[in-house]
A and B are shown apart, each in its own frame.
Chain A
């Protein structure tokens, strides 16, 4: 199974892609191995349950507090950043965000961009947008570099190339860069490093994401482990940070617990190797740093989620990826199966606000609601509850007025009718008992094939007698014995 994973090339829905992914033994092993290791790392990073739960509660409240003042905080952020010499741009759509970034590059007559890891730039499909306009965009995060080299998209928000094992990466480097194949991870990293070093020095513009935008001080905080983030934000003459409007927090004190939650939940690290706090361009007396710093604040559907008290909780997300690491569905199908920028449980609840439910109609159903995601979420987003809400919005008729973007994507009169029938049956004791009588009496007539259920199971055959029957008989006997004994 050394061939390229075709999952990303499939045009069908979630189920079609899932089927292909599930049949790929190598992919299954890669994800299972990686996710098992990440789950263990997280567990080890939180040895004290009380501390963990207290911290999660705190993280939740900090984000809730920040979101309750979101418009004010964004304005404060803009004011402070402007004072610090950072140019702030607002983008309602990804198209606008791309135009802004391209405009900044054009003003410098730039042709080369080096990028630190940024999921918002993935959301914007910035690489493609700029490439079409003659600007080369090179990913400098090792995982991003690997997927870019292979013409793929990230399969995980923290570890973009987690779907590949070292042999696959080695082969890729051999095929694309002409280097010797090797099993040595350090050697592989050196290959990427040598290429990237040169690019950092040549690039006209560096692009990065933001983990926390701090309103009180006008600081952009960026965590990373490879140093590429610091290089991307300091070596080129221009730094453009792109981020979603939900990343703003009130002050630096709020960052302490959030940062601890983020790095421990993501990779089990007490802290990342690099924590960059960017507070403006190079000052007159400084020797290095960019001449210009820009921040692009992207909405892209976030204000739609914000407007709904329940869905607003999706904006708590600090993008740690713990929900996908613990998800039994994600572990089996991998990130590409979701067909969108944000995979896994968090992807299922943030993507509809960005692209609309019509584009991801199966996402809310792609969960057994096992709850592992909600259990580990560092900011306590009730992911299963929100998935359930999306399911409700998904089956609403146009007349019922779905409240999520392009809701009603799964509206079906037939299915509604089936549930109405189920409702009648289960709310009428007489009908329900009639059903029990029929199902037990004619149990031999149970069909051998019952829809998709019998793809994985034999057909369930009703018992000879229902519990209603057995209990009635048993309790009557008990009653008799009790009264007889007195």
Chain B
């Protein structure tokens, strides 16, 4: 491969290697598995339920395997690879049924799609199953947009929202593009930009407790920019960021809040007003 570039000069700066093409999406399936994620399971279960409702509204039957727990990310990002691997193995056992797996969190979806490969790099047999899971994993907004190809009527009141996307979700799953496009389908929702929008909110899993000083400064800046954005509320498709941002807002005794994107979307398309 390097020989190719070696010989491709003289003006080497013009030689752009082929970039991987965009993900190819399948036709809408009849049924999917929802992987709720541990944070949604315990702290934002309504968002998980709203994700189920959004999928069912598109005529997709949803399964929720009882054996699911956590994708393994907390241990993986903390350096405890073998502990993460065993938890990943348990998820793999219930998720590799060949059915699409929809995840209402970009970073957990990214864990399935990107990091399980690293976890099982030394197990060729498992790796083959990991590849199948990776192929079948979709983040919720990605699935609604590109697989269900939703066509929505906005039943809510006019509102202004700020969108926060998790960094790993953005990098690994393009969540920011999917969420923006989905929100763009809602006629009465105005998405406002906030200062340093693409900057990390400071969560980073265990980073928030290992480096509370730096993490705290980051989330304080993030909440400031959200509150001064002119938005009525913040929406995000990632439970970790949501817990971080709302927890900080609460500590600062601010009224402004964030909400899981699934709940926001369900409210808009179902017309069920929620306080």
Contact = CB atoms under 8 A, between A and B. Distances in A.
A452 B211 CA distance: 8
Contact of A419 (B36, B78, B203, B219): B78
A425 B203 CA distance: 23
B213 A466 contact: no
Given A388-B79, A452-B212, A61 B16 contact: no
Nearest to B171: A371
A379 to B, nearest CB: 14
Contacts of B200: 328, 368, 370, 372
Interface in B201-240: 202-221
Interface string A393-425: 111000000000000001000001001101101
Contacts of B14: 51
Contacts, number: 239
Contacts of A328: 199-200, 202, 218
Interface string B57-71: 000011110111110
A439 to B, nearest CB: 6
A53 B20 CA distance: 11
A470 B48 contact: yes
Contact of A475 (B62, B69, B78, B247): B62
B52 interface: yes
Contacts of A366: 211, 214
A365 B67 contact: no
Interface stretch (B39-47, B149-157, B176-184, B185-193): B39-47
Interface stretch (A85-93, A129-137, A298-306, A427-435): A427-435
B209 A253 contact: no
A391 interface: yes
A54 B69 contact: no
A239 B94 CA distance: 66
A62 interface: yes
Contact of B16 (A50, A416, A425, A453): A50
Nearest to A428: B90
A199 interface: no
A455 interface: yes
A416 B81 CA distance: 11
B83 A420 contact: yes
Interface in A433-486: 433, 436, 439-440, 451-463, 465-472, 474-475, 478, 482
A419 B12 contact: no
A453 B208 contact: yes
A466 B41 contact: yes
B73 to A, nearest CB: 10
A58 interface: yes
B45 A466 contact: yes
Given A61-B2, A432-B69, A462 B43 contact: yes
A54 B17 contact: yes
Contact of B78 (A391, A454, A459): A391
A472 B52 CA distance: 11
B64 A475 contact: yes
Contacts of B124: none
Contacts of A451: 209
A456 B216 contact: yes
Given A58-B12, A433-B66, A457 B19 contact: no
A460 B36 contact: no
A106 interface: no
B49 interface: yes
A6 interface: no
Contacts of A263: none
Given A466-B42, A471-B36, A472-B66, A58 B17 contact: yes
DSSP majority for the B interface? helix
Contacts of B205: 368-369
Contacts of B38: 426
Interface string B68-109: 111010111111110110110110000000000000000000
Contacts of B70: 426
Interface string A350-370: 000000000000101111111
A368 B49 contact: no
A432 B11 CA distance: 59
A57 B17 contact: yes
B2 A333 contact: no
A332 interface: yes
Given A15-B213, A370-B204, A456-B216, A253 B248 contact: no
A459 B203 CA distance: 15
B41 A19 contact: no
A468 B66 contact: yes
A328 B41 CA distance: 29
B64 A471 contact: yes
Contact of A18 (B45, B168, B213): B213
A330 B5 CA distance: 35
Contact of A456 (B56, B79, B208): B208
B208 A256 contact: no
Contact of A256 (B13, B49, B61, B167): B13
A463 B46 contact: yes
B49 A422 contact: no
A22 interface: yes
A429 B70 CA distance: 11
B137 interface: no
A428 B117 CA distance: 22
Given A256-B13, A436-B42, A422 B210 contact: no
A61 B5 contact: yes
A478 B118 CA distance: 38
Contact of A423 (B83, B203, B218): B83
Contact of B251 (A19, A370, A372, A458): A458
A8 interface: no
Interface string B20-54: 00000000000000101010111111101100100
Nearest to B47: A467
B243 interface: yes
Q: Which of B9, B61, B76, B78 has the most CB of A within 10 A?
A: B78
A297 B83 CA distance: 42
B4 to A, nearest CB: 9
Contacts of A76: none
B167 A371 contact: yes
Nearest to A22: B217
A462 to B, nearest CB: 5
27 contacts: A19-B213, A22-B214, A53-B16, A54-B19, A61-B5, A62-B5, A329-B211, A329-B214, A366-B214, A368-B207, A368-B218, A369-B77, A370-B199, A372-B200, A394-B79, A422-B87, A426-B87, A426-B90, A427-B86, A432-B69, A456-B248, A457-B251, A463-B44, A467-B48, A469-B45, A470-B49, A471-B36
Given A368-B215, A462-B42, A468-B64, 6 more contacts: A256-B11, A333-B214, A419-B78, A456-B247, A472-B64, A478-B56
7 closest Cβ pairs, A-B complex: A54-B16, A368-B204, A457-B247, A391-B79, A370-B200, A456-B216, A370-B167
